[in-house]
Copies of this chain bind each other. A is one copy, B any other.
Amino acid sequence: MESRCESCIIRQFNSLRAMSKEELKEVSDSKTIKKVKKGDPLFEEGDKLNGVYCVRNGVSKLSKLSANGKDQIVKLATKGEVIGQRSVISEESANLSAIAVNDMEVCFIPKETIINTLQKNPNFTLEVLRHMAHDLKEADDVIVNISQKTVKQRIAEAFLYLKNNFGEDEEGFLALTLSREDISNVVGTATESAIRIISEFKKKGLIHASGKKIGIKDERKLQELVEGF
């Protein structure tokens, strides 16, 4: 697997594309590649981060534990996304935990390299800003969805989101397989409630499932459900 940032394709998808050749060289020289096993944390809420993580492979959930012991998943980060930049920029400890949903390969980039470039290269800073603006919009939309839509609508929406953002495998199942508990934590509901609604969707022919794997059968009806029919 290619290990020089300069020739890394993933870079095209994130703010690192705004870096100069020299800056990329610095990143490449200072980065380390890490493998993270399914279920293991990249970092946890409250940790002080010494750098950011660029996802090469796999998916990480960004979540926060609440007083009652339930996790709320705020975002799913996949190939090409950079995790931990918010904490590094704000110079605060991590607000969220990042846990591998499946086996991952990530590049760890020390914060000095990032901060250095932020101070020198306005294009890079602007690019990071654009990404953060996008994340903020998404977060605002999640707020509106959670508070205004029913659990059923949110689960339907989650399936459509998974299809659009992670695609399907050869057999037509969602490429990203989440446990029922993870689904309930994305949607912000009790696990049993999520399971019940998933069963209902199966009975109604909106989705089909084989073990954990879920496939979308009737995208239009799911979409209608989201919009409130």
A residues near B (Cβ < 8 Å) are 64, 66-68, 70, 72, 74, 86, 89-90, 92, 95-96, 118-123, 125-126, 128-130, 132-137, 139-144, 146-149, 188-189, 227-228
Closest to A64 in B: B144
Residues in B neighbouring A130, C-beta threshold 8 A: 89-90
Q: Quick one: which of B70, B126, B134, B142 contacts A148, CB cutoff 8 A?
A: B70
Q: Quick one: which of B72, B135, B144, B148 contacts A136, CB cutoff 8 A?
A: B135
In the bound complex, CA of A186 to CA of B149 (Å)? 15
The count of identical subunits is 2
Per DSSP, are chain A's interface residues mostly helix, strand or loop, or mixed? Answer: helix
Residues in B neighbouring A123, C-beta threshold 8 A: 119
B72 A143 Cβ-Cβ under 8 A:
yes
In the bound complex, CA of A133 to CA of B147 (Å)? 23
In the bound complex, CA of A77 to CA of B135 (Å)? 19
Residues in B neighbouring A140, C-beta threshold 8 A: 64, 74, 95-96, 139
Q: Quick one: which of B67, B92, B144 contacts A228, CB cutoff 8 A?
A: B67
